[in-house]
Structure formats: C-alpha cells, structure tokens
C-alpha cells in the first residue's frame, strides 16, 4: 500500500529540493541546472530560480524493449551518448541490429524535441560549470545515467544529481558516478515516481517551452 503523497505537484517538489540544495551549499552558487524533459523541467525551473542559476534542458530518451516498451533496455542522450543494459539484451536475445534500429528512432525524436523546445536558442556551455541534473524522480536510473555520461563528456567542474524522490538503491548507486546526489525522499518499497505526487499530470511541450522562455526573460530582467 502506497503512503500519502510526498508532494502536491512538481512545482512544490522543486521548491523543496531547491531549499535542500541551498542548505547544503557545496559550490552550487549560480549553477547550470539541466532538466530532463518533460517532467524534470518544472522541478528544475524552481531550482534555477532559487539558486540564481541558468536553466537548460538535456534530452534523454528511454529505449524500450520491443513489445514491452515500458521495460527499459537502455537510454540515449543528446550528443548520441548511449547506455544499454547488455545483460537484459542478451537475456531477451535482442540483436545488435534491433538495438541500432531503436537507437536511430529515438535519436530522431531527440533531434525533433531539441528544435521544438529550444526555439532557436543554443545549448548553454557545460564546460567548467557546476551542473545540477534534475528530474521529477528516479526509477530504474537508465535515463539519468545516459544524462550523466553526456554531461561528463563536456568537462563540467562539478556534477550533482537532484531529484525529489527515488529508490534508496538508485540514489546510492549514482554516488559512484557524480560528485553529489540529493534525493529528498527514498521510500521503500518505491512503487513508481508518480505514486508520490498528488498531481502527476503530464508536463506538456507548451509548458516546457514556456518555462525555458521565462527562465531566460527573468535572467535578463535581473541582470544575471
């Protein structure tokens, strides 16, 4: 039986997470906050605003098992960074050709969404920045691992993962890959990310574009 929701919605989750990050400090003044769309964007917007950081997106697409798309075979991130669960692929006898086909399809979707969300804006520079990777929660961690690898290719000064909720094992595992992991809650049993939100309605493409635009306008108006 799932307990009471931990968060009203993603906005509240982002504000609580921002408060936790601010309290911990650790060289996170004016960070680059990278959201995993779509659900990570409302969370990341509140963090970027509170920490006076820059908001941008990092596109990651899950690669699902054919016929069981909810089962993650792996993930691909902007820049072509690919993470595949080799053990699962071998167990299910999924060929390299099939993996290539699925990867090409999801890469095409990433390119489409880059154009849709950025509206002509260039990606912000990652090199030598403190980067906070944000999603509305972790489940398997496949998409976040692809995001971490994509960011690390670009020589950031520091990488932090920040999520409102995740399984204890996922938070622990990611400590091997990044400088810091901030998980507000690690319930056990976990069930699913959406189980811990009162409102987990899907974030729309329009909302992603609006929040990215607002972040840019607010930065200009405050002179940051």
CATH of the domain at 129: 3.40.50.2020
Looking at the structure, do residues 216 and 150 belong to the same domain, yes or no? yes
Query: Are 55 and 80 within one domain?
Result: no
- 3, part of any domain: no
The predicted model scores a pTM of 0.91
If asked whether residues 47 and 68 sit together in one domain, one would say no
130 and 181 housed in the same domain:
yes
Cis peptide before 189 (omega within 30 of 0): yes
Would you say residue 37 lies in a domain?
yes
Q: Do both 107 and 133 map to the same domain?
A: no
- Whether residue 31 contacts residue 129, with contact meaning beta carbons closer than 8 Å, is answered with yes
53 plus 66 within the same structural domain: no
Domain end point (choices 97, 117, 137)? 117
Class of residue 177 by CB neighbours under 10 A (exposed 0-12, middle 13-18, buried 19+): middle
Together in a domain, 36 and 81: no
Please write the tens of the pLDDT for every residue from 20-77: 999 876 667 789 999 999 999 999 999 999 999 999 999 999 899 998 887 889 999 9
Q: Is residue 4 part of a domain?
A: no
- For residue 1, being part of any structural domain is answered with no
pLDDT of residue 223: 52
CATH code (residue 110) = 3.30.1310
Distance in Å from the first CA to the final CA of the chain: 46
Q: Please check whether residues 143 and 55 belong to one and the same domain.
A: yes
112 and 127 together in one domain: no
Report phi then psi at 59, rounded to 5: -75, 130
Q: Could you tell me the pLDDT band of residue 144, with boundaries at 50, 70 and 90?
A: very high
The reply to whether 167 and 79 lie within a common domain is no
Inter-residue contact 196 to 187 (CB < 8 Å): yes
205/100 same-domain check: no
pLDDT digits (tens, 9 = 90+) for 99-129: 999 999 999 999 999 999 998 889 999 999 9
Expressed as residue numbers, the domain containing 137 is 10-60+123-222
Mean pLDDT of the residues in the chain: 91
The tokens describing 19, both together, are 């408060």
Residues 46 and 111 in one domain: no
Reply yes or no on whether the pLDDT at 218 is more than 80.
no
Share of the chain above pLDDT 70, in %: 95
**Domains: count for the chain:** 2
Question: CB-based contacts of 40: which residues, under 8 Å, 6+ apart?
Answer: 134, 135, 136
At 217 the pLDDT is 82
């Amino acid at each position: 039986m799932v307990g009471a929701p931990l968060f009203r919605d993603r906005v509240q989750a982002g504000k609580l997470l921002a408060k936790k990050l601010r309290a911990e400090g650790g060289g996170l003044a004016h960070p680059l906050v990278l959201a995993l769309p779509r659900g990570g964007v409302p969370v990341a917007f509140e963090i970027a605003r509170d920490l006076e950081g820059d908001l941008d997106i990092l596109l990651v697409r899950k690669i699902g098992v054919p016929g069981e798309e909810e089962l993650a075979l792996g993930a691909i991130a902007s820049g072509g960074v690919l993470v595949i669960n080799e053990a699962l692929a071998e167990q299910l006898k999924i060929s390299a050709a099939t993996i290539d086909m699925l990867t090409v399809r999801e890469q095409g979707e990433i390119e489409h969404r880059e154009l849709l969300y950025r509206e002509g804006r260039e990606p912000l520079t990652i090199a030598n920045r403190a980067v906070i990777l944000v999603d509305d929660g972790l489940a398997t961690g496949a998409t976040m691992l692809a995001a971490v690898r994509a960011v690390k290719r670009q020589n950031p000064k520091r990488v932090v993962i920040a999520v409102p909720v995740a399984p204890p094992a996922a938070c622990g595992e990611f400590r091997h890959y990044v400088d810091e992991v901030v998980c507000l809650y690690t319930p056990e049993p976990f069930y699913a990310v959406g189980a811990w939100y009162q409102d987990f309605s899907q974030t729309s493409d329009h909302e992603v574009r609006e929040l990215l635009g607002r972040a840019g306008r607010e930065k200009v108006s405050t002179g940051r």
